[in-house]
Amino acid sequence: MRKTLLLVLAVLVPVAAVGIGLASRLMTPPAASVPGTAAPAVATAGTDQTIPAHRSGSGPAPATSGKGLELQFSDKPVPLPALSLTDLDGKPLQPASWKGKVVLVNFWATWCGFCVQEMPDLVALQDRYRDQLVIVGLSTDTVPPAEVKAFAARKGLNYPVAMAGDAVQQAFGGIPGLPSTFVVNPSGEIVQRHVGLLDPARTEHEVRVLANLPSEASVQLVKDTGQVLLANAAFATEIPGIDLSGLTPKQKQEVLTRLNTDRCTCGCGLTLAQCRINDPTCDVSLPLAQKIVDAVRASVHR
């Protein structure tokens, strides 16, 4: 059975903050840019980059100024998976038509309390930014689509909704908890993933920054080794809970290759590396990963 964790925090700290020490914010002159935008930026010392997010484009006034918010985006955005989806009326969705707009792909279910709680904020966001934003609701329910359609109508959802089976969920690297929201820039690249209840102000200013609209939020490009987007786990050189010390460079590379190839058997559908990064408490992936380390450590291939 697929492991789905319903998180109980009213507002979840962005996933990008997990497992990474954020660099100091000492400003230096080199230029960088938020993925998918053309706005100027300033890089910081260390591995992360802090970017002033004041934009000059015109558009709807924000609900909040964004002052004091620090947004985080992956430094290695990944393309939005190729999707073949039909809405709840049986009409095909056209992902190609989303290009040039910010997209929020929101995985949810009718039984998920936090999913339902954030729906009014998503409805308001879609209404306010109808020219800059597309929200796509992907229901993980196993009930008939007609029931999901009736539920969506009762909640007044003003954005397309489609059913998301296992294949769709795995295309996004697995959905470990609901709600899960993927933030996609106008170039069609995923730059952030939020698991749990969205913070309305943070989400609005992610949209504004990516749409090149004025915002007083700051933006940090995070060195992503899987903690922002699981697809980037292959870049990780350390795996939570796994001691790689004492291995030769060749052995360490062999371990990392196997951890990014072998699948966890806990039901998450992820590689061992992805599972450890996504859920360091998993008691299935830990012994499997450790077994690989022990086997490689004991090997004669030095």
Return left, alpha or beta for 147; rule: phi > 0 is left, psi -120 to 50 is alpha, else beta: alpha
Residues spanned by the domain of 277: 236-297
Tell whether 216 and 257 lie within a shared domain. Answer: no
CA 287 to the chain's CA centroid: 27
pLDDT at 241 over 50: yes
pLDDT at 246 over 80: yes
Tell whether 251 and 111 lie within a shared domain. Answer: no
Question: Does residue 224 sit in helix, strand or coil?
Answer: coil
**pLDDT confidence bin for 173, thresholds 50/70/90:** confident
> Domain end: 222, 249, 264, which one?
222
Q: Which of 9-18, 22-31, 128-137 has the highest mean pLDDT?
A: 128-137
Q: Which of 223, 226, 204, 228 is nearest to 215 (CA)?
A: 204
CATH number at residue 92: 3.40.30.10
Tell whether 38 and 104 lie within a shared domain. Answer: yes
pLDDT digits (tens, 9 = 90+) for 259-299: 888 999 998 888 898 889 888 999 999 999 999 999 999 88
Q: Report if residue 184 sits inside a domain.
A: yes
Tell whether 160 and 266 lie within a shared domain. Answer: no
CA distance 179 to 191: 17
- Residue 37 in contact with residue 54, Cβ under 8 Å? no
Among 18-32, 120-134, 228-242, the least confident range: 18-32
Tell whether 269 and 145 lie within a shared domain. Answer: no
- Residue 36 in contact with residue 186, Cβ under 8 Å? yes
CA distance 71 to 91: 35
> Which two three-digit tokens encode residue 164?
């998301």
Tell whether 264 and 136 lie within a shared domain. Answer: no
pLDDT attached to residue 48: 53
Tell whether 256 and 121 lie within a shared domain. Answer: no
Q: Report if residue 231 sits inside a domain.
A: no
User: Which strands make up the sheet holding 78-79, listed edge to edge?
Assistant: 78-79, 189-195, 180-184, 102-108, 133-139, 161-163
